[in-house]
Structure 1
């Protein structure tokens, strides 16, 4: 490890000071992107948003705050997290994780995703990686996925207005869909993700 490297910039405040609504991970990440754009605009180019899902929309994640038992395992339909990679180092910011905020990429992956080798193929995790600047330009959600048939909320929404873009009020499914032909960002499997964002110093 090169001891002359400068310390990583704290581009985000402590987790307790971040905008957070349980079960709205995509909006929590959007707010993290907004914070960086406002307070550390030069660093936004080094930030990525990562959606985790698969065709069946059943993705096991460990060490999640809402998880059960000692290992804190949850099965989400999807999840979203924030990566910051200013050099060969990479850290993960995940407001739903019980790991530190942030956590170095390799530790986060090892504890949160473990390995696909212990899972049936239907549970394999895939990852859509989107530059944070593009996510800020494109993402929109009217939160319809959190409404019951009678219009009531299955989980309380964030207090701020829904996120929309010119001509678009909802495209969340395009980010969750792991079809690599979709144009938003790049889709990888777990091995490819690790190869892309983890380099031993």
Structure 2
């Protein structure tokens, strides 16, 4: 598979802003929300049904991807993916089936891993000085958002902690595709 895209510009910031919106407008729901970073050790993450995909399957290979989950009850989980051509939001089973498909058709280097972080924790801990949005010469790949970079009192940049998929390091919990599905998809009985 050819790498079609190498930078996930602003995805984490868009999801951060979505978390902020839920926290301010629906504060009781933020505890039912999660931020999910999707990546792997080789930073080659195939996703189908993405707007920037060129072929009929809309396949893109990202270095990482970020989505927002709303999981209000065991049988209901919605995925908010700002880059997907699927409905916004989409039920987790449909999203997984159409976006991740299965690992059985992939070489191990392309297996997707999922770092799941409670949204309220992400709001408190995430920081990005946007260095990953710049070229080696320091110029912007594309203009940054018009609001200040996301910082905490103790950190200016910890994006790599979220992207790397070593389960012994970083925030939240790292899951395989099967574990992710088992955690967020509970068919109604």
TM-score range, shorter chain: over 0.9
The corresponding residue for 2:142 is: 155
Q: Does 1:174 align with 2:161?
A: yes
In 2: Cα distance, 1:93 partner to 1:77 partner? 19
Match of 1:116 among 103, 122, 126: 103
**Deviation digits for residues 14-69 of structure 1 (CA, Å, limit 9, x no counterpart):** xxxxxxxx821100100000000000000000000000000010000001111111
The corresponding residue for 1:15 is: none
* TM-score, scaled to structure 2: 0.93
The corresponding residue for 1:200 is: 187
Q: Does 1:103 align with 2:81?
A: no
Tell me, what secondary structure is at the counterpart of 2:46? strand
Q: Does 1:66 align with 2:52?
A: yes
The corresponding residue for 1:165 is: 152
Q: How far has the Cα of 1:183 moved from its partner?
A: 4.1
Match of 1:47 among 1, 23, 33: 33
Give aligned pairs, total: 180
The corresponding residue for 2:81 is: 94
Q: How far has the Cα of 1:146 moved from its partner?
A: 1.2
Q: Does 1:80 align with 2:66?
A: yes
Tell me, what secondary structure is at the counterpart of 2:72? coil
The corresponding residue for 1:5 is: none
Tell me, what secondary structure is at the counterpart of 1:184? coil
**Deviation digits for residues 78-128 of structure 1 (CA, Å, limit 9, x no counterpart):** 000000001020000010111111000000000000000000000000000
In 2: Cα distance, 1:41 partner to 1:129 partner? 20
- In structure 1, list runs of 5 or more residues that go unmatched: 1-21
- Between 1:89-98 and 1:153-162, the stretch displaced more is 153-162
Tell me, what secondary structure is at the counterpart of 1:195? helix
Match of 1:26 among 6, 9, 12: 12
* TM-score, scaled to structure 1: 0.88
Runs (4+) of structure 1 exceeding 6 A deviation are: none
Contact 2:162 / 2:170 at 8 angstroms: preserved in 1? no
- Between 1:159-168 and 1:127-136, the stretch displaced more is 159-168
Q: How far has the Cα of 1:156 moved from its partner?
A: 2.0
